[in-house]
Chains A and B, each alone.
Chain A
């Protein structure tokens, strides 16, 4: 009975796989096994963000982790589920939001740094400072190394010194103005309050700039030392815009300024269309391969076909359990791995034919075929896995999710195909051969 053990194992794995593939089984031991579709299949927004600092300055891992968290909070505020915010490389973050109703708004939400800065305008006069309102200026926040803040000519070209940032705030709220319209009231943290009091105390009569995302929103004159850690950002806000601004300030400004370097929006209809077409193509491709194998290799071919179907079931189950996100190239990778799975079987069957021609008994020939075909199966698949590894690393650095998806499905496919070719096909074949005599039916083997 020992020889039926591999068969028992194979069948249990396949039954488990079928169970896992049932659409009605969304959970398995606490793991969410619902099939995850990529943005290219169900539509959505993808954006690649990069730290907006000179390449020479260092961005710490903590800053990036912080930025990732904040963006995640903001996106969750949009009310979408399954959004992903992942770091990519040292200075980049990939954001993926599926099923989003308004892609433009989502991009705007991600893009806003909400970096609030209180900037020292030095000896600038009130008039000069007023000219800066609405303009984009450079500040030294986040910059490292030598700051040449004092020697540049025009105010807009100069790098100004940042005294405090949004990090030093504890809360912000819309506040009605007596003259109509709204301001945003802010409260500093203890350290923020102390620093602000010290600064304002030492600079009474000078101008201070309140800068949001490097744009000067107002340039008030410091009339007196500001104690108590409270302040007001004045502006022409409506209730809505004041609230929005306050929310941004509360959810936190980014520890590093980020810019959107790549953005990508896929409409849901295009995605659905692609998915259906690819699935159909995959099914037809698989059917043709099954037909070819059966016609060419006869009985072993049919056995391999069974193994191939098992292979497809097991792979899909693995994708579900491991939470692999299926993308179009991912499906292409999977379909390609079907071809590679066939290859392992073809290699073995060609060997089998040779061994049979050499006059060996069938059961011996099967074992010989497997052991002789193994080195080439091993070496060829390892080289494919090495390529997958390179693709995966490449894809991760750039948030090229499509490349990454392809490499993951191909690699998992290759590994699964080794299991099915070595284990499943072989155990099936042994069982079949116990019941069919090759010597009586040579044509069944095309030998």
Chain B
């Protein structure tokens, strides 16, 4: 039979291979925050003339209105997305008037304005939201597995697997932020929290099997029983992931640009969530059960022969 538990350190290693570069990016370049968190203003304009002015032309209009740091992206042939510091709504009226007088009529596709103070508060509350979700889930799993010995281990292992997914997403977002200029916004946070829910959802299915098998296969060694449970739920884990990925993929390919970033992060997170449920979560239980960390730093000779 497929022995996933025996190769667990390989799988842990694979996770680290994604997480560590992500963390390096995160520490080196930080997580580029979007308007929702950082504050500022965004103007998404469509030019009726059919051709958008160049970024330089637009920048000088902003500069004339007193906005120094502008980030300008093109969107299609006739559109520009301009980010700048927060502006008063009255200022926006002046600004669009100035733009129209120079480049002809424009349509405002989107205009967002976020106070930096609110942004900072959202960041704080977001941290709280993630922590609250983690604690609620931990308590619930502890409760749901109360009949199993060491119920708290299941909760904590699920949370570790969940943190794994959070790190994967945040790391990848940091990399994409560096290379593609993506910014973490409120939707990123939503994706993150959804992945937390999904990751735990997935882990629980595996743990549920362990909960059941712990009674049925009482005589089997713990590691064997856990591996058995993983393999039994493998079809389901993969099929469920496939169906969710199918729906998300169709959203990435066909959905509007507004949600594309959001859906891609969801896709990465859900893949990671299934990976960590299959290859990490239950293996952590085994590491804990065998107290394997006692042998981590000892000589190879003391490891049991394979």
Q: Is the CB of A379 within 8 A of B186?
A: no
Given A269-B109, A340-B201, A383-B197, verify A277-B255 contact (CB < 8 Å).
yes
Closest to A344 in B: B240
Which among B90, B190, B197 is the interface contact of A386 at CB below 8 angstroms?
B197
Count of chain B residues with a beta carbon within 8 Å of a chain A beta carbon: 74
Cβ A342 vs Cβ B89 within 8 A = no
Chain B residues contacting A280 (CB-CB under 8 Å) are 254
Residues 135 to 178 of chain B near chain A (Cβ within 8 Å): 136-137, 140-141, 144
A427 CB, nearest partner CB in chain B, Å:
22
Residues of A with C-beta under 8 A to B243: 289, 292-293, 339, 342-343, 346
**Please, which residue of chain B has its CB at the minimum distance from the CB of A405?**
B190
Chain A residues whose C-beta falls within 8 Å of the C-beta of B183 in the assembled complex: none
Residues of A within 8 A of B126 (CB): 394
Can you name the residue of chain B whose Cβ is closest to the Cβ of A372? B212
Main secondary structure of the interface of B (DSSP, over half): helix
| Distance between Cα atoms of A284 and B252 in the complex (Å) | 12
Interface centre among B114, B196, B244 (most CB of A within 10 A): B244
A264 and B255 contact, Cβ closer than 8 Å, known pairs A376-B208, A382-B140, A403-B190 = no
Do A261 and B140 touch (CB < 8 A)?
no
Query: Which residue on chain B has the smallest CB distance to residue A341?
Result: B243
Say how far B88's CB is from chain A's closest CB, in angstroms: 8
Residues of A within 8 A of B44 (CB): 267, 270
- Given known pairs A336-B244, A379-B208, the reply for A386 and B89 (CB within 8 Å) is no
Chain A residues proximal to chain B, CB less than 8 Å: 40, 48, 50, 103-104, 107-108, 111, 260-267, 269-270, 273-275, 277-278, 280-282, 284-286, 288-289, 292-293, 296, 328-329, 332-333, 335-336, 338-340, 342-343, 346-347, 350, 354, 372, 375-376, 379-384, 386-391, 393-394, 397-398, 400, 402-403, 406-407, 410
- By Cβ-Cβ distance, the 5 closest A-B pairs, closest first, are A387-B197, A339-B244, A274-B256, A285-B247, A376-B208
Interface residues of B (CB under 8 A from A): 36, 44, 46, 89-90, 92-93, 96, 107-115, 117-118, 121-122, 125-126, 129, 132-133, 136-137, 140-141, 144, 186-187, 189-190, 193-194, 196-198, 200-202, 204-205, 208-209, 211-212, 232-233, 235-236, 239-240, 242-244, 246-251, 253-259, 262-263, 266
8 sampled A-B residue pairs with Cβ under 8 A: A285-B247, A354-B232, A382-B140, A387-B194, A390-B136, A394-B126, A398-B121, A407-B190
